[in-house]
């Protein structure tokens, strides 16, 4: 894989990852007249939950559902420059023009005015867009296994790069697919966030993992994986190095976890064999998900990795893929119990979901 770095018209970084042997040099110039981005992200800590909340008002003006011929993630063509200056690409990564977190955010007072119990800080971090293919009409599940393998290497590359930035505490690669999820650009793409804090979900999982290890002397996720593989009733697909299963306490109407058989903290720690195996297994899972309702399934694919500096001995890498679609034409809404109290109610059992996906 060849890696080429460049700059867009407003100074943002763009990186090309080419797996095509005869790919041309990536030296096209961004001809757009773009002002320098001035994101004003901030984070505030909720005193009732002790969780950070991010605020990025500048994102209100981001691109919203453009027509296909004006897609900003497609390659540039004469008279139609996009976020990607080249006329073609394999995988491209660039800094988000409308980031939730950014490196250049100015300092802020340590607390909200008149509210000393509400901590406040600059939303420093980094947000990147990952374009999986130049084909606007494709999807992740339709990529060849070789391209998925390239994307795994890209995720690992960006995890290392963002994790090395000052102030970044956790790196989160993810993909949103489908309008039901809230996607505003239909070109196949994902994102990578470099958070300036450890996310609430990760904190809870690490806390549970710490208590379990103290009580049993073994890793929590490892024991969950072993039990799921032994039971088999919720396993959807298996590879040599990974297993995909519906978790026994699934919250979403469709939810699959892909877990490596070896404890690794993050994507960079995966071996070549583990990356190869994941690429093939993940495509199998995505094909089953699309076959579930005989339509492209809207989903979120979320990588759970160890924080940059804490809990790395407790963490166990996994990918969680889940959907809000509970039938072919009905959505799972986060209503009173889920949104108000955080108590999830699922309309199907994990065993039923896994059986349907296996079929």
For the annotated catalytic residues, the residue numbers are 189
Give the tokens for residue 82. 């996009």
Q: What backbone phi and psi angles, to 5 degrees, belong to 353?
A: -65, -45
How far is the CA of 295 from the CAs of 139, 198, 327, in angstroms?
13, 36, 11
CA distance 156 to 256: 21
CA distance 130 to 176: 11
CB 319 within 8 A of CB 326: no
Q: How many CB atoms lie within 10 A of CB 78?
A: 6
How far is the CA of 318 from the CAs of 16, 173, 278, 302, in angstroms?
26, 11, 11, 8
Q: How many CB atoms lie within 10 A of CB 89?
A: 25
CB 157 within 8 A of CB 87: no
Beta-strand relationship, 126-131 and 189-195: antiparallel
CA distance 256 to 236: 8
Beta-strand relationship, 51-55 and 91-95: unpaired
Cβ-based neighbours of 233, under 8 Å, separated by 6 or more = 351, 354, 355
Q: Which of 329, 323, 312 is nearest to 353 (CA)?
A: 323
What is the DSSP code (8-state) at residue 141? Answer: G
- Annotate 244-284 with three-state secondary structure: EECCCCCCCCEEEEEEECCCCCCHHHCCHHHHHHHHHHHHH
What is the DSSP code (8-state) at residue 338? Answer: I
CA distance 335 to 255: 18
């Amino acid at each position: 894989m060849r890696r080429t770095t460049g700059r867009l018209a407003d100074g943002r970084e763009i990186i090309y990852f080419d797996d095509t042997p005869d790919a041309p040099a990536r030296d096209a110039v961004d001809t757009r007249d773009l002002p320098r981005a001035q994101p004003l992200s901030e984070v505030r800590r909720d005193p009732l939950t002790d969780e950070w909340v991010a605020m990025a008002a500048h994102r209100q003006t981001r691109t919203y559902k453009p027509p296909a011929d004006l897609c900003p993630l497609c390659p540039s063509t004469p008279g139609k420059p996009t976020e990607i200056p080249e006329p073609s690409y394999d995988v491209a990564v660039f800094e988000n023009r409308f980031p939730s977190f950014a490196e250049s955010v100015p300092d802020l007072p340590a607390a909200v005015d008149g509210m000393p119990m509400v901590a406040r800080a600059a939303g420093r971090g980094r947000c990147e867009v990952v374009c999986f293919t130049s084909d606007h009409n494709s999807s992740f599940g339709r990529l060849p296994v070789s391209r998925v393998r390239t994307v795994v290497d890209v995720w690992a590359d960006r995890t290392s790069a963002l994790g090395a930035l000052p102030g970044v505490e956790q790196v989160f690669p993810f993909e949103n697919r489908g309008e039901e999820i809230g996607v505003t650009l239909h070109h196949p793409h994902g994102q990578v966030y470099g958070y300036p804090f450890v996310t609430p979900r990760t904190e809870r999982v690490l806390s549970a993992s710490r208590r379990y290890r103290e009580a049993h002397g073994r890793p929590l996720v490892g024991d969950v994986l072993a039990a799921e593989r032994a039971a088999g009733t919720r396993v959807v697909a298996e590879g040599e190095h990974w297993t995909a299963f519906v978790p026994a306490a699934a919250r979403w109407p469709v939810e699959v976890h892909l877990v490596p058989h070896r404890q690794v903290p993050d994507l960079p720690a995966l071996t070549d064999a583990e990356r190869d195996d994941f690429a093939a297994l993940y495509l199998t899972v995505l094909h089953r998900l699309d076959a579930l309702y005989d339509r492209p399934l809207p989903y979120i694919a979320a990588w759970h990795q160890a924080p940059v500096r804490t809990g790395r001995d407790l963490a166990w890498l996994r990918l969680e893929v889940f959907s809000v679609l509970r039938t072919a034409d009905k959505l799972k809404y986060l209503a009173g119990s889920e949104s108000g109290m955080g108590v999830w109610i699922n309309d199907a059992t994990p065993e039923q979901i896994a059986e349907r996906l296996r079929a």
